Amino acid sequence: NNSSKKNFKSGFVSIIGRPNVGKSTLMNSLVGEKIAIMSDKPQTTRNQIRAIYNDDEMQIVFMDTPGIQKPQNRLGDYMLKVSHSSMRDTDVILFVVDDSKSIGKKDSDIIETLKTNKSKKILAINKIDKLSKEELMVLINMYSKIGIFDEIVPVSALKGTNNDTLIKVLAKYMEAGPLYFPVDMITDQPEKVLVSEIIREKLLMYTDQEIPHGIAVDIEAMKKRKDKDIIDISAVIYCERESHKKIIIGSQGRKIKGIGKAAREELEMILGSKIFLELWVKVKENWRDRENYIRSFGYED
């Protein structure tokens, strides 16, 4: 048991930043497993998701967050609450920005909040695969001048560039502490939640405009067959309008078929089993403003 070792270190790292800077991609990349779904759509991450990094000397519990932005509905209120509470109870705040050449309003608002926070603050400048060396130097200078970051680490979450450097930097700020989770555990996310998230990720890939934000996925049944290595999964996709339902299903059911195939293939890899996936699409108008639905889709504690 690692925790009985001398000098074992551990701690919590909360990953914050505005939507789409690559927080979830970075967390997955740091732990080497896909825990949080990723997409080019804002509001992809809705809950706090923990991923656990383990090596011989330490355990880092990363907390991915929905990202900080102005709420448009009750679901948005919940998402913002999740992000802020994760910033309160943490050892290190890993603030992620992207390759943007200047500090916009959203980032400067977060920086203001960070100024009053007592945790160690590490800035990750992500998406450096899109920057020249010179451009990166300009960004590092720009962020250094703010004067609140204990460290600044340029990374590319997509390519894994500087992941090892970032882990080493984080290690400096971990303190003597216990194993919070067993070493073979990489997330505390229940399997059912992961399954619904993977299906939602494929929906995000296949839809655009307002549809992705109004989608929720509920796993109605998930059961391994007794005699065979097959898992039967039945899921309901909720959307907000009849017209959205039509788009999700697609002409002659082609789109929903594609979504189901993509989800099934990834789930078979993750769960290491053959999967039969049944998808249904239902309409629940304005569910994002209705407390009981938000709750029943898993977005309330």
Pick between residue 201 and residue 240 the one whose CB is nearest to ligand GDP. Answer: 201
Instruction: Tell me which residues in 158-177 interact with ligand GDP (CB under 6 A).
Output: 158
Q: What share of the chain is helix, strand, coil (3-state, %, to 5)?
A: 40, 25, 35
Nearer to Mg ion, 24 or 86 (CB): 24
Among 14, 25, 187, 196, contact with ligand GDP (rule: CB under 6 A): 25
How far, CA to CA in Å, does 165 sit from each of 27, 135, 171?
Answer: 14, 20, 10
Spatial contact of 155 and 167, defined as CB atoms under 8 Å apart: no
Q: Which of 11, 12, 22, 214 binds ligand GDP (CB under 6 A)?
A: 22
How far apart are CB 154 and ligand GDP at their closest, in Å?
10
Q: Interface with ligand GDP includes 223 (CB under 6 A)?
A: no
Min separation Cβ 65 and Mg ion, Å: 8
DSSP bridge pairs for 261: none
Under the criterion CB under 5 A, does residue 162 sit at the interface with K ion? no
The interface with K ion within residues 5-34 (CB under 5 A) comprises: 20
Amino acid identity, residue 191? Answer: E
Residues paired with 15 in a beta bridge:
64, 94
Q: Is 20 in the site for ligand GDP (CB under 6 A)?
A: yes
Q: State the nearest-atom distance from the C-beta of 101 to K ion, in Å.
A: 20
Residues 6+ apart with CB under 8 A from 141: none
Residue 197 token pair: 């998230």
CA distance 190 to 118: 31
Per CB under 6 A, 35 contacts ligand GDP: no
Letters for 130-149 (x = contact with ligand GDP by CB under 6 A, - = none) are: x-------------------
CB 281 within 8 A of CB 256: yes
Return residues touching K ion (CB under 5 A): 20, 44
